[in-house]
Each structure stands twice: as C-alpha cells, then as structure tokens.
Amino acid sequence: MSVSPPPDGSRMGPTRISTLVVTALAAAAVAWLLIGSFLYNRLPALSWLPVFTLAGLAVLEAYAAFNTRSRIARRPGHDPVNPLMVARFVVLAKASALVGAIFAGAYAGMTGWLLVQPTKAAGDDRPAAFGGTLAAIALVAAALWLERCCRVPERPEDEQEPDDWESRPDRR
C-alpha cells in the first residue's frame, strides 16, 4: 500500500524561495509606505533588542540544524533522532523562514527609507535597521538549513523495503 498525496493536493513540501522573496518584498513595500507616510515622526528610536533576538534565533536554529543532521546521519557520539522532534523542527523551520522573510523585508524597507532621509534621527536609526535586515536574513538562512537537515536521507536500493505490505516476502 503506497501513500499518495490527498486528492486536493494539500501536501507539505519544502519552503519555496519564491514565497520568501515575495513575502519580503511585500513587507518592504508596506514598511516603506507606513514609515514614509505618517509613522516616522511618531516612532521612538529603533531598538537593538529585536536585532539581537533575531540573531539569537538564527544561532539556535543553526545549532539545531547541525545537531539534527548529525543525529539523522547516525554519526558516532550522537544519539538517534526522535522522529517527533524532527517533525517539530520542520514546523519551526517553516515558520521561522516566513517570519524571518517578513522581518527582513520590513527592516529592508525601513533601511531604504532611512538612507534617503537627511536627518540626524534617520542617521542614528540606520545601524539598527541594517543590523535587523542582516539578522533576519540570517534567520531565514538558518531556518532553511534546519528544514533541509530534517530530510530523511535516501537509503541504498538493497536496504529499501517494498512499499506494498502484501508483497513483502515475509508476509506470503
């Protein structure tokens, strides 16, 4: 018995780069418009806390990716991987990639708007906005790597079991 995707085509697959790019571009446009239109004079100075939070999440997900890859490959010194934990990591990676793309776009739009402003306040906010863009991009990269590391490696042909339970030699 082989497992096929549902008839409506709703099957979870790898995160598409195009989805992340479109999301980031939309977030950049919204950030540019909101800040440029009416928000900038009412906002306090940009904080570094979100930048450090995004960077910290990127580091944690990169560590999880490295550890998961070693455990799935069954390298010496690593415990076997728990399949439920890998499923949770995949969900975390997909969500983090999307959130990272939103933040990258928002920070990029903010950075672009701040670069064309000649004021001292804009100049003071540029480093935090640029740092946020880089940290968000790092989060997207770490999330995509974690998602990739959670894939099941292909087994050699001689080790694969038949898909059909009835056709297995021990079931006849």
Residue 1 has a pLDDT of: 44
Which token pair is 172? 């006849």
Residue 23 has a pLDDT of: 96
Distance in angstroms (rounded) separating the CA atoms of residues 107 and 110: 5
Average pLDDT rounded to a whole number, residues 30-42: 80
Average pLDDT rounded to a whole number, residues 36-53: 83
Average pLDDT rounded to a whole number, residues 31-38: 84
Q: Where are the domains of the chain?
A: 46-152
Residue 160 has a pLDDT of: 54
Residue in the block written with tokens 């080790």? 159
Of the ranges 51-60, 115-124, 145-154, which is most confident? 51-60
- Helices 17-34 and 83-115 cross at an angle (nearest 10°) of 40
Residue 119 has a pLDDT of: 84
Instruction: Judge contact between 94 and 147, C-beta under 8 A.
Output: yes
Please state the pTM of the whole predicted model: 0.80
Nearest CA-CA partner of 40 in 153, 119, 142, 131: 119
To the nearest 10°, the Cα dihedral for 73, 74, 77, 82?
100
pLDDT tens digit sequence for 102-130 = 999 999 999 999 898 888 888 888 999 99
Which token pair is 106? 């928002």
Range scoring the smallest mean pLDDT among 12-21, 57-66, 78-87, 89-98? 78-87
Residue 6 has a pLDDT of: 60
Helix/strand/coil (H, E, C) string of 54-110?
A: HHHHHHHHHHHHHHHHHHHCCCCCCCCCCHHHHHHHHHHHHHHHHHHHHHHHHHHHH
To the nearest 10°, the Cα dihedral for 27, 61, 56, 140?
-20
Average pLDDT rounded to a whole number, residues 144-168: 70
Instruction: Judge contact between 147 and 14, C-beta under 8 A.
Output: yes
pLDDT tens digit sequence for 16-32 = 999 999 999 999 999 99
